[in-house]
Chains A and B, each alone.
Chain A
Amino acid sequence: MTAKSAINLALGLLALLPSTAVVAQQVCLPAPRLLTVMPMGGQIGSSVEVQITGESIEDVSELLFSTPKITAKPVTGPDGKPLENKFLVAIAPDAPVGVYDARVISRLGISSARAFSTSHLPEQTREKANISVETAMKLPVNSICNATMTKRAVDYYYFSGVKGQRIAVDCAAVGIDSKLTPVVIIADAQGRDIVLNRTGGVLYFTPTADGTYLVKVHGLTFSGGPEHFYRLALVAAPGDELITRQPATPLVSSMSWPPVNLAASAQTKETEPNNQQIQAQKITLPCDIAGSFYPAADVDTYEFTAKKGEAWWVEVASERLGLNTDAFVLVQRVTKDGEKETLTDIAELNDIASPMKVSSNGYSYDGPPYNAGSPDVLGKFEIKEDGTYRLQVRDLFGGTRNEPGNVYRLIVRQAAPDFTLAAWAVHMTLRNGDRAALSKPVALRAGASMAMEVVVVRRDGFDGEIELFMEGLPSGVSTSGLKIAKGKSYGHMIISAASDAKPAHSVAKIFGRAIINGNTVTHPCRVASMEWPVRDAKQEIPSPRLMADMPVSVSDSEKAPVTIAPNENKIWEAKSGDILKIPLKLTWRDEFTGTGIGLRTYGTGFEGMKEFEIPLKSSKHEVVLDLGALKTPPGNYTIAFYGSAVSRYRYNPAAVAEAELAQKKAEEEEEALAATAKKLAEEAAKAPTDKKSEAANAAKIAAEKQKQAEAATAEAAKRMKTVSNTATPQDTVDIIVSEPIHISIKDTPTKTAAVTPKK
């Protein structure tokens, strides 16, 4: 057997082994995640009691919202103590209709976000099962019901329909973080389907007779459970008007929309018929037009004149408005020979490319699982000759789809160079074949650093360098932006918590700053995250979205397993072509597997840096940067090292000590009470007749107290067992990021005087 075949055999045998060993290794340290809020919205101007669930959230102290118009305070029980995971949420009367992010502050800091909606309609929450015609729940017209979908079932609601009075059913789910792909059906009172919508659209229905009708809701694949929640709105929709949909969270692609200073609505409207060349709608450039891809196979043709040398930028928004469309723009020159018209292609404008290569759907991630590009259009055309031109807009997904709601906005403008940014926590394959797409709140353990990828969509030819920085950080947290270099499409933001940081949180912001046409332009950066901690993206398709804000927290309940930092916080200076040595300080807090951690380098100018290894357990390591080999030109740089490693991680070990103490205390109390009870029982037995009743009563009370103490002890033991189990060391693979290192490279003085400076 050759060595290679032996390895193959061994790998084959490994594959046959029960996967417990592999499963035992968790991907990424636990992060606090808010999973459900029920109800997941409320009527503006009201207060609503919500129940939350989550993972890795202990000691929840606050429920926060991305708007000051929504506030929450813990619900207290009869004993005045806060009830676990219950809050009373107040929605101010002037809160706008919208969908906001709710998060909690817990032992590990700020949690991931969960959508929370506001509406002007009365709301109710489904309290008991309604999975049959007989148990249908009443849903008044012009109201919203918050509910979770029952797995392998259909939820039933009923309403009174009035002949001729059109109603609309709008089920919010996908746009409010739910895992549900809802199917909504209007059925007769016996449950027989009349009309349906399975593609996420609004269901309109005009009863042909007065009577009771049912609204049925189920998952497209009948999936269900607490994470499959929905907000079912039933509203009157007179005439043939299209209702305003319930608000939805923005897609990652919408990070590039709208351009700065864009008017709220377009100046011009598309006018049909304009499908044929001969029907072209006359426009003048620049323009801003609202149109729609309706009916099926719609083509909108616009005609304009342009002069030689002009360059025009075209932007279409449709998918970025949350629609399932794929806009395409064709620009053609029109020449005429008598009556005969000839069209010559000038430009075909297609998708907005993703700034980073998005991961394929293959075995492992080969890029981030986020796409900041869009099927919308952003491109330019140049006019080579004076003349008449036509521009056609069509939806490449629109051949057979008749959806009046599929609108677009077309902008043709002269170059307005600009940029727009989005960021997300770095994802990468951490274990062979894993495709874990976890929601990642910026909840730092003291001593930890995390890296965010910051991508840019550049507008209208802007290709300059972009500095990245953050504001609004909590104390103990610092950041360094690894700039987006000229012409490049992404950079990094490193967020680090000091090893001695105390718990704190605040809402921070990432900004990008660039010089455009001599002016300094600063833009905030949107932040994207996964809606759910998807542990295997092969089984569950991850849903990323833009977050409303970016809270950052630091906690000290647990510390980072390792901190890698330069041993001095300074700017490391070198001359171009030098060998720069940077001593690193390594602080190991958890046990790691293997002999070292392989590290690679983030940061412009250092892309060519080869992977190097830092030895485990060593308290220091010197990194050698060969600036000559790297060909890093003179300038100021910030870099960071990153890699992945497996540590023996213990979840919340402090809880074990606490539980142990509590258990001991309970046992002692129980012992004391048992002794008292015994003593009182004996006394009662011996007590004279006239005191017998009193003594017996005292003995009974003591016995009851003893019983309660026994229960408390059992409870304490149970808790002890639970926290001990969760604190059992578990192999955990995670991304390791160093603190940033600032480097200044000076130009090497010319050694010969052969070159005489020009005068």
Chain B
Amino acid sequence: MSVVNYDFRNEVLKHNASLSYCYQCSTCSGGCPVALLTNGKYNPRKIIEEAILGLKDKLVESQDPNPWLCSTCQKCVELCPQKVELTEIFTLIKNLCFEEQKYPEAFYSQGKAVYDTGVAIPYSNSIVARRKKLGLPEIKIASVEEIQTLMKETNFEKNILRGNE
């Protein structure tokens, strides 16, 4: 049994009021390449429906449908006749999944790499050598201290990284 979570519903609505414009026409799912490939197992309309109803246990706990299967192609947003900002709403749901430690591992690795080095792909010695050989300039990336200061301010370190250690 799914339980309506009004706090959750209000939080999503507060962040993005366009949610309330949805009348469940399914244009989003009709244009979604992942819905097509998974025979509707991934289904953007259903995610929006569950958000409208405030079914946090479905969206965050059991992840049915799995919001991480969105390829971020942004077709649904373009197609929606009601201008529902679907991908912004999906981003919010995924942010909430992250706070509750429900996410594919690769996302954590990227967040940690950026926190530790400032970039998603740190420069290996062989790449530095290859760049030199190709005649490319040396890259001076961000001060890690500045990046970490910002990521502490936004609570990234506290909410996202700490919970995983």
Are A and B co-members of a single complex? no
- B residues neighboring A (CB under 8 Å): none
